[in-house]
Amino acid sequence: MVLYVAMAKSEQDYLDRAGELLFQHKLRFEGLSGWPCLMMRYPWVGPEVVEHYPIRAIVISGFGHGWDEMEMSELYGLYDLLHAVEVPVLGICGGHQLLAHVFTKDFRSTGELRDQPMRRLQPGEPDWAPDYHPGYFVETGIQPVTVIHPDPLFAELPEVIYVRQSHFCEVKHLPADFHLLASSDHCRLQAMRHPRRPVYGVQFHPEMYTEHYPHGRRVLLNFFTIAGADTENQVTEG
């Protein structure tokens, strides 16, 4: 079973994103892994989840709101799970940034998590996402990412992959001993891995692959292969 952690800030946000989370993400994870996918909002996730369900892999979603809109206490369970779990983990976009926070901070002594924008726009530079975070550079659309360290997550992929981006924040500093796996011109920490466990973070959105840009699909297949799924027989397209 795949556990999909939805980083929706509220029940209403969860409902508003239900179509995207269910049809664009959850069903794709099920089709590619061959396993059922349990989707839960993050305040309900903790170590007890892997004790009650046969979780084989964990995927953490992205999100479009600020870190200051989350209650730190609601992240404690997920924080504890990520420090203890042995199954493979894939943090996507905001989930990637969450992993960096989890492995550099003690959440119970941290007042709040802060946004870490890539940079402000330069004078005269066009604002391609004025309704998202006006005045800040946003990496969006299909963009090239360069794989700089061989890893099973990028097996059967070229050195430069083309994947969907949608973020204005980034991971500024690699957590201690983590391996940097991929970079782009605008964002240095595009992919990383825990030094001892199959815990991965990717700034891009592999789940938003298309027929013409399928590299994200291969990243997901590789991740589920790492988790033990028989992906060679999974040909379903979500």
Strands 179-183 and 191-193 turn out to be antiparallel
Contact of 31 with 61, CB cutoff 8 Å: no
- The beta strand positions in 93-198, using DSSP E, are 139-147, 160-167, 179-183, 191-193
Q: Which residue has the tokens 């969860």?
A: 14
Pairwise CA distance, residues 12 & 9, whole Å: 8
User: Which is catalytic among the residues 25, 96, 167, 205?
Assistant: 205
User: Which is catalytic among the residues 30, 101, 207, 215?
Assistant: 207
Q: Phi and psi (nearest 5°) for 80?
A: -65, -40
Told to judge if 207 belongs to the known catalytic residues of this protein, a careful annotator would answer: yes
Pairwise CA distance, residues 55 & 1, whole Å: 5
User: Which is catalytic among the residues 93, 167, 169, 215?
Assistant: 93
| Side chain identity, residue 183 | S
Pairwise CA distance, residues 238 & 161, whole Å: 20
Told to judge if 173 belongs to the known catalytic residues of this protein, a careful annotator would answer: no
**Helix-then-strand count for the chain, H and E:** 7, 9
Any idea which residues carry the catalytic annotation? 93, 205, 207
